[in-house]
Amino acid sequence: MLTDGVITLRPPRADDAEALYRECQDPEIARWTGVPTPYERHHADQYLARCVEEEAEGKTRAFVAVDAEDRVLASISVMELDKGLAYGEIGYWVAKDARGKGVASRAVTLLRDWCARELGLELIELLIDAENLASQRVAESTGFLDTGELRPAPRQEGADTLTHGVYAWRPE
């Protein structure tokens, strides 16, 4: 678990499925991420199973951000892990009621620093939809630099249009 005293990042658990399902009903999450639409209850269970599988394979480390009462505020992961290249990509969404309260910046900072310290990552990227101004502000406030590069939406079948800006961070 990772904490800054305000939020805690912990691995997702089976009992988080209902909260994940509930939060992913928000159309803003589907708008900016690759979550299925409509998001059905079984998608949360599939996601949780995939987290376990991909962590065992060394591909992903998933977390949920929670408050002091263990309410799910966000989902955040480091994906596309390549320890040989010391590379990872952070992706996240924030629950509707937690937006605008610094949750994304806190979570990205905690995970970014942990990835550098514990996984030895030397390049971490955020791929952000060019229209997602809130996530662009999060990237900039957490030390990620806009590379000027555009890529297709990550992990979305058939996505070939260059819609996502690349923001990069390297430890100093």
- pLDDT score at 16: 96
- pLDDT score at 18: 97
- pLDDT score at 89: 95
- pLDDT score at 158: 66
Nearest CA among 42, 51, 67, 53 for reference residue 12:
51
Beta bridge partner(s), residue 61? 78
- pLDDT score at 172: 83
Q: How far is 127 from 33, CA to CA, in rounded Å?
A: 10
- pLDDT score at 163: 79
User: What is the length of the chain?
Assistant: 172
Order the strands of the 8-10 sheet from edge to edge. 2-3, 8-10, 61-66, 72-82, 87-94, 123-129, 164-169, 145-151
In the chain, what are the domain boundaries?
2-169
- Rounded to two decimals, what is the model's pTM? 0.93
Nearest CA among 68, 59, 57, 76 for reference residue 12:
76
Q: What residue ranges of the chain have pLDDT lower than 50?
A: none
The CATH number assigned to the domain with range 2-169 reads 3.40.630.30
- pLDDT score at 21: 97
29-64: pLDDT as tens digits? 998 988 998 999 999 999 999 999 999 999 999 999
93 three-class SS? strand
